Structure 1
């Protein structure tokens, strides 16, 4: 069981049966009171869950009580809830939220203004299941007394997607208060005109064949006085007293008209008849209002109220719900001439795109193609044994799936094979094309290829490498291996003489002479392996190999025939080259 406050009042459903539809101002006042109650509850973190005309009671002076917060929702099985007032997400099984309450209030506002609900129970279920959604008839089409702004406010509250409705009940309340102010201003203008007409002398109308048809009925005697009375509206003030007040009011109006006519004529002559708009202080100039994030209809109404025209351009947007203004030009706050056109960029909502296959493409090409399709791109690196370095391994969304323009597409890009420890392969004597393949297969990084002039090797063959073959290396931390490739060497001016060719295989006497050299190698790191390689006319040979600690000096006695080149490797890396 549950206990609630006792109060005297009639359910809104009963009031609507006996008096539906109410006049516009009465109906709007009830909607404002319900919005105030919801805004207060939402501020405390409480959503109603199942707001209907049965859970709203009307007291005297148009006061309302909103009851059954969470009670009807919790106690009523899903199949027994009144679907005509339920937001689509509630019918789909989601928990109540401020947006679901705003939808239910939109249904009540629609019913207050038109005397009927926007959806049948069957239509409500179709909306919840994303089947055959058809927007309800505009309230203004069913009740000519509903002004454009109020019409758009109600339709926005009834949007099927929660993100397209008002974000909070306070936002909806602000719009309803603006609608009430607009209606009150309109009523005051009408009454002023009627009282002004009563002061004019009665002039017999010219003879005519027949009387014109009577004017359309007014909005059931739309009256500001109704706001201060209870719903029975039976009380009337004393007729004689009312008559005296009416005569006094007419006389006062006459004096005001005469006074303002004189002042107005003076101002019109002084200012050339040009008015100052929206408090800008400049004649014929208005300040552009902010309409970003408003519904297109609301934006047009707001700009039209400021004497500005509109031009609409619609674009797809993954971030802004359909029908809302994304941006405006001129921007809000800018002063422009009356009648200026404001361009509005309005969202068409998400645009579904079919994702292309970007796998195995080079990263730069795949990125550009994804951006051309309208996606944002995020790159994540991973190792791959089968996909080349800097090529796309995989992607999300997958090829053929649908996504929206502006959404993120994630590219998984190859970093090459996973790092591992290997023995440095012997590349000397191999063609450079084969060397590229060997290095790629083993995940060995390498820098620029350097050329060595020599006639001892064919062009394009590797003659030297900066890491000694057989050295144990980690492919991630080893750094680049330096590769030296043979290029033609010609004797004479500008060429390379046989004496400067470390690989020259000559047979003259000078080349056969044995040469000797003593040198020292200093070690800086404990446990370092020192390997010394000699290249002379007889080819390549290992002259020394040993391990030493930091600070030790290794004495070397070296010899060779012809031009002798000495290469010193420490821990597999070329550290020193000497020619003698």
Structure 2
């Protein structure tokens, strides 16, 4: 049997877990830590590009800094040198990740759809929790899709492939390549489709596409070719989800349409805002966002299926029940017959972009006063942005509205500003802005730090619950010896209890093994030996040796458990001790008729010069120590 392939001198590569357009994923064993991991190996044809390798390593290192329960952790990265059939050598990058048992959301949709609305929203909220953390750490995923979301048997949500998607986005891959990028066209944001720079709001658009699919059974846009789908993301409006699944309530329609706004300024500005409206939709409370969704879809002719009612006006009842299965062929929503129209789509895209450029130039000319149009003689009214620091969000929005300004709220963790209060504004206080301008209000979402709780003496499950309750997660789990902590309970944490760490940090646990190492106590006074063993949680018993010894009286001669042995706590160690009285010899009485000699029961007539030795009898300490 061939020896297993070993990466980095420690990862034994096992069976194949899955293949993608870019990589293979294998289960592996970390021989150093004794745990199972997943190893992703990049395809050899992509690995030949040195610039891609550099981006791959850089992004993998960035992803390795993400520690959150909703993100598949990246443990390590490296490269393995392989020899090609022609004799050439190539560096094949690999990434070691957390091994997660479960199945992807893509597999779940194939077998379990339809899902209950509450389950759809719960899955999406789990994804948004991971994105909120990654965005706060400066990492944009760029490839949110059902295949990159794992669901564990316990129902935990894990977002995968951080970093790799970033590296692919930075590479020369395009929509025309037959690679993994093509498969993600259904979840591309409009700015990604236009080739513009993306930010965290692009992930929120992709999450909106994912939510649309798990609610209705299909993505918001489909087409014959990736470029056709990309064109729809840029220029077409999706139908409300309730048009495909009538049981979806208006509030959920609003949340989805808000996330799918073409203009990123009109989407949710953070994953936390998106998740908050999801919870409000489930609980039947008025939504805080989704104000732009109504405006965005107002251009479409109102119908019974597409009319959107502002969610703040009428709170909705919490959604219940499972969604009906919707297929592409179910009337009255039958898709158009498949035909090859993507070459025309390319032409249309080029025309739209060209016309848009001309229109923009004309507008700029008119704005500069060179278009011959009528000029106004008065400047627009301006107001001063007020100082809203430490005001509540509601007060800040009221003040801005009173001044004729609109507000966009974003959230950020802050250790100095109370939860729900304003940190800062953009533009800054004192700036002169035109009436009707938008002011971005940065609101504190609370402290970003957490205090590590004292979980010593708790079981691993109890410790995990206590850490999760304060926004922390469990990191590496190791075992250690302790005479005072029962087997399976926590001895210590790293960082230590009461330490202040960023929320989302992983805390390593040391769990009691229930064993201790027996020391060598031979040659020590009995009292010292007994104390040393009992301090380790061991029991002792001692007896005096019957074998002649030169050891000092009262010292340990032997122990029945070998030194350096690992034994269970409370194991009995038997000690033998040199007697307090050494053996002595005394001459017998002379063979005379003296009364003393004849009266001694131990004396007997012997031949002249014979002796009887008297030896002390050893006894145990009788205390059963």
Indicate the structure (1 or 2) with the bigger Cα radius of gyration: 1
Structure 1 length normalisation: TM-score? 0.35
